[in-house]
Structure 1
Amino acid sequence: MMHNKNITYSTGEFARHFGIKKDTLFYYDKIGLFSPAGIKNNGYRYYTASQIVPFRTLLSFRRLNLSIKTLRDYFQDPSPAKLSAISTQQLEKLKAEMEKLAQIQNHLTQISESLQEALNAECEKAQIRQLLPTYLICSKQMDDSQETSEQQWEEAQDSFILSSDLSGITRIHSIIAESDLKSGNFDHIHCLYAESSISTEHLREGGAYAVYYHKGPYKNVKFAYRKMLSQIEALGYVPIGDAYEEYLIAETATKKEEEYITKIMVRIQRI
């Protein structure tokens, strides 16, 4: 592209042309990234029209989060091969960032939907619903003690998040084994789980489920199980399979245990 080399710009004029501060130009000159065309007899720096396109390119690259070193190396000796390598590298970084943002968006959506579900829930009443199959990421099985303490649950959660490379804002839930459900050992957690958007080896089957919302401290959930099972029987059903606990409102949302809402889901069939 041809430019009128007789046209020159002061530092202020050149900066205003791109909507940046003069200090940015001074800094780029200092680190050897972009320098003025020359210095006039009066000591003032000046830029030329032929520098507009290269500087606009530089600013565009900066918006791509390229490092100063990468930009300096490229503009010192630009080439198609270097530009291709930079583009490929940035595309890979962008892809990773987009995947991370999508995960965060998904987690925040789950939190928002869970809170809305909790606030609209009809508590202490078994409801029959058709649930879709859902893939799960499950932790290793917890010990066979009669009761899972809060400390054991917290330690298992921390280990699960770290070993499964889950985000710290991932919602972690619990599974009560079918055997414990039948024996009335509602305080024993079989394992922890998180829902997955991709296929895994663990699938919570779809079908008819009894869904029960309990409001109050978690220590009282064992009583909620007894009420739920009694109501399920009265409706003409029996539970089959494991029970799934989701903590819709817990300590991260409120300091008042009486405001906790725990959702219990168990697959059912007609008696």
Structure 2
Amino acid sequence: MIQYTIHEVAGLLNISTDAIRLYEKEGLVSPTRNPENGYRCYDTEQIHRIMGVCLYRKLNVSIAEIKRLLAVSTLGDLSESFSGFIDSRKKEIERLTLEVEKMSYMKQHLDTLDEGSRTISIRTLPAVYPLYHQDSAFLGYRTLKDVFHSPLFSMGNFSYILSVEPSGSCQVSAFQFAIREPMLALTQLNSTNLPSRDSCRCLYTVVAFPTEQEILWDLSAVLKYAGEHQLSCKLEAYAFYVFSIAQPDVILDYYEVYLPLEDS
């Protein structure tokens, strides 16, 4: 019977000797030892087992799962195991697809932050679904524990509802955590059972404040733009926290601000 050394097997199968030693340590292969020098020896059966292990590893089957597969003695049981692998990977694909959609939505916001911080424009605010609401500006983290723990936390935004004076100065009338329409579609929530604010055309801009600084909301520039363009605005605005960026000496919190327009 032809015997092969560990280096020969590694060269034949294009894998490392460390991988082969790991398979031996995990009980997946059992080489014999050369009685003269103690070196590992692999026969055809052991090489076939290593080939099978390599195939499974290329499919990202875990060592523990491979152990169970190598113990299977019928084609039916093997097929059932593969059905389980397929189901778990479909769930992983769904999870990753959802992550990509979340990241794409976040990137969309990031791409507009720089432009929005330098301009005022007309945009549509999608329908908003508040999941948490309080009629004060106080940001008490203890009261927000359920929001932080919710699987929906990565889907929404904290936002302030602002009462806007004709001068442009603002007071916070409410604080909320809400999901906007594009992200709601990625959840299992039924929009018909949720409180909501309908989508509306708004004046849009982006503002940034240092995290440690008290926010003094001032939309005078937005109202000036409205006046210059003969636009009539409502006196309630929405400021959605979007992102924080660390500068060398300060952390800036970025907000998207929407000031609804009166229906024309």
TM-score by length of 1: 0.71
**Structure 2 CA distance for aligned equivalents of residues 103 and 160 of structure 1:** 20
Spell out the pairing of 1:156-167 with structure 2 (5 A cutoff).
158-167=145-154
**Structure 2 CA distance for aligned equivalents of residues 52 and 89 of structure 1:** 27
Counterpart secondary structure, 1:100? helix
Counterpart secondary structure, 1:213? strand
Residue in 1 that maps onto 2:88: 93
Alpha-carbon displacement from aligned partner over 1:196-216 (angstroms, at most 9, x marks no partner) = 151741566445221133344
Alignment size in residue pairs:
250
Alpha-carbon displacement from aligned partner over 1:150-207 (angstroms, at most 9, x marks no partner) = x32x44555323134434xx56231527xx5589863133421234151741566445
**Structure 2 CA distance for aligned equivalents of residues 231 and 58 of structure 1:** 67
Alpha-carbon displacement from aligned partner over 1:18-39 (angstroms, at most 9, x marks no partner) = 2233343334334421123x44
Q: Please say if residues 232 and 261 of structure 2, whose CA atoms lie closer than 8 Å, have aligned partners that are also in contact.
A: yes
Distance apart, 1:71 and its partner CA:
1.9
Q: Please say if residues 164 and 170 of structure 2, whose CA atoms lie closer than 8 Å, have aligned partners that are also in contact.
A: yes
Letter in 2 for 1:162: H
Say whether residues 1:268 and 2:254 are aligned partners: no
Would the alpha carbon gap of residues 68 and 229 (structure 1) be closer, same or farther in structure 2, given more than 3 Å must change?
same
Distance apart, 1:41 and its partner CA:
5.2
Q: Please say if residues 201 and 260 of structure 2, whose CA atoms lie closer than 8 Å, have aligned partners that are also in contact.
A: yes
Aligned equivalent of 2:238, options 244, 248, 257: 244
Residue in 1 that maps onto 2:173: 188
Unaligned 5+ runs, structure 2 = none
Residue in 2 that maps onto 1:223: 218
Residue in 2 that maps onto 1:3: none
**Structure 2 CA distance for aligned equivalents of residues 35 and 121 of structure 1:** 65
Distance apart, 1:76 and its partner CA:
2.8
Alpha-carbon displacement from aligned partner over 1:89-142 (angstroms, at most 9, x marks no partner) = 22233233333333333343344333332222354x64223x3745x5532222
**Structure 1 CA distance for aligned equivalents of residues 152 and 51 of structure 2:** 41
**Structure 1 CA distance for aligned equivalents of residues 53 and 217 of structure 2:** 64
Residue in 2 that maps onto 1:208: 201
**Structure 1 CA distance for aligned equivalents of residues 99 and 175 of structure 2:** 28
Would the alpha carbon gap of residues 165 and 223 (structure 1) be closer, same or farther in structure 2, given more than 3 Å must change?
closer
Would the alpha carbon gap of residues 122 and 91 (structure 1) be closer, same or farther in structure 2, given more than 3 Å must change?
same
Aligned equivalent of 1:176, options 142, 147, 161: 161
**Structure 2 CA distance for aligned equivalents of residues 246 and 186 of structure 1:** 15
Q: Please say if residues 118 and 249 of structure 1, whose CA atoms lie closer than 8 Å, have aligned partners that are also in contact.
A: no
CA RMSD of aligned residues (A): 3.6
Residue in 2 that maps onto 1:139: 131
Distance apart, 1:264 and its partner CA:
0.9
Would the alpha carbon gap of residues 18 and 157 (structure 1) be closer, same or farther in structure 2, given more than 3 Å must change?
farther
Residue in 2 that maps onto 1:102: 97
Counterpart secondary structure, 1:34? coil
Residue in 2 that maps onto 1:55: 50
Would the alpha carbon gap of residues 244 and 21 (structure 1) be closer, same or farther in structure 2, given more than 3 Å must change?
same
Counterpart secondary structure, 2:207? strand
TM-score by length of 2: 0.73
Would the alpha carbon gap of residues 171 and 197 (structure 1) be closer, same or farther in structure 2, given more than 3 Å must change?
closer
How much identity, in percent, do the aligned residues show?
19
**Structure 2 CA distance for aligned equivalents of residues 194 and 238 of structure 1:** 27
**Structure 2 CA distance for aligned equivalents of residues 240 and 19 of structure 1:** 69
Of stretches 93-102 and 154-163 in structure 1, the one that deviates more from structure 2 is: 154-163
Say whether residues 1:78 and 2:63 are aligned partners: no
Residue in 1 that maps onto 2:63: 68
